[in-house]
């Protein structure tokens, strides 16, 4: 069984959708760890309810980012994790984790990359007045939301939309697209 860790920083709706979807669709993977860099985040409650083990710490507890990522890496290696899924993890992945997991870290982004990368993909698309935006599942590289794209879905912007209504539809789309992207990766790559 391939072992997966999910990294998240906030609400955790994508984390929950992944854990429940993997179980429902009986995918041949096991979520063995939530990594959370915000020790007060709501995602921690979700992980407790779903019985997923947690590793959480603030980067401030470490001397630098390398030490922080080395601590995470030790945990991932102890658990034999073969694939990392970022689900609202609001931190750039550094060389320590990238080199240990080349093309094995995946992210979900709430826009049609390469449009609107960064922390505010939904708001930036809305402010730009585009007729459609969407969701992207992609491999993580050293850039910001710049790695190879695995799967995308379009979300039209309706004339009556607000940021809140658009965000709700984007999140709904994220919850099925991340699973579809994961299935595609599992079908096309031989991972540990
Ligand atoms: C999601 O919309 C995800 O795409 C976004 O954070 C949100 C987390 O929601 N990630 C990024 O913007 C990364 N650049 P969640 O905590 O409810 O899953």
Report whether pLDDT(139) > 90. yes
Q: Which residues contact 166 (CB under 8 A, 6 or more apart)?
A: 122, 125, 126, 133, 155, 157, 158
Q: Are 138 and 109 in contact (CB under 8 A)?
A: yes
What mean pLDDT comes out for the span 80-89? 97
Answer yes or no: is the ipTM higher than 0.85. Answer: yes
Q: Quick check: is 42 catalytic?
A: no
Q: Report the 10 Å Cβ neighbour count for 186.
A: 16
- Best mutation site among 19, 46, 109 for ligand 1 pocket (most ligand atoms within 8 Å of CB): 109
The residues with which 137 forms a beta bridge, in sequence order, are 108, 151
Domain of residue 39, CATH code:
3.40.50.170
Domain that holds residue 57: 2-188
Number of domains in the chain: 1
Q: Which of 42, 109, 120, 138 is catalytic?
A: 109
Average pLDDT, the chain: 97
Q: Which tens digits make up the pLDDT trace of 88-121?
A: 999 999 999 999 999 999 999 999 999 999 999 9
């Amino acid at each position: 069984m391939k072992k997966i860790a999910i990294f998240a920083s906030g609400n955790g709706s994508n984390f929950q959708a992944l854990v429940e979807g993997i179980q429902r669709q009986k995918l041949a993977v096991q979520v063995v760890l939530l990594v959370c860099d915000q020790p007060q985040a709501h995602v921690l409650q979700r992980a407790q309810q779903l019985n997923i083990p947690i590793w959480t710490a603030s980067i401030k507890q470490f001397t630098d980012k390398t030490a922080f990522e080395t601590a995470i890496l030790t945990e991932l290696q102890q658990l034999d994790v073969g694939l990392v899924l970022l689900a609202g993890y609001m931190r750039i992945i550094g060389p320590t984790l990238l080199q240990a997991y080349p093309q094995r870290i995946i992210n979900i982004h709430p826009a049609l990359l390469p449009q609107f990368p960064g922390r505010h993909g939904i708001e930036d698309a809305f402010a730009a007045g585009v007729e459609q935006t969407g969701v992207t599942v992609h491999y993580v590289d050293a850039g910001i939301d710049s790695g190879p794209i695995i799967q995308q879905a379009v979300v039209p912007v309706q004339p009556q939309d607000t940021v809140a209504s658009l965000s709700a539809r984007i999140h709904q789309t994220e919850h099925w697209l991340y699973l579809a992207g994961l299935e595609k990766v599992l079908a096309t790559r031989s991972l540990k």
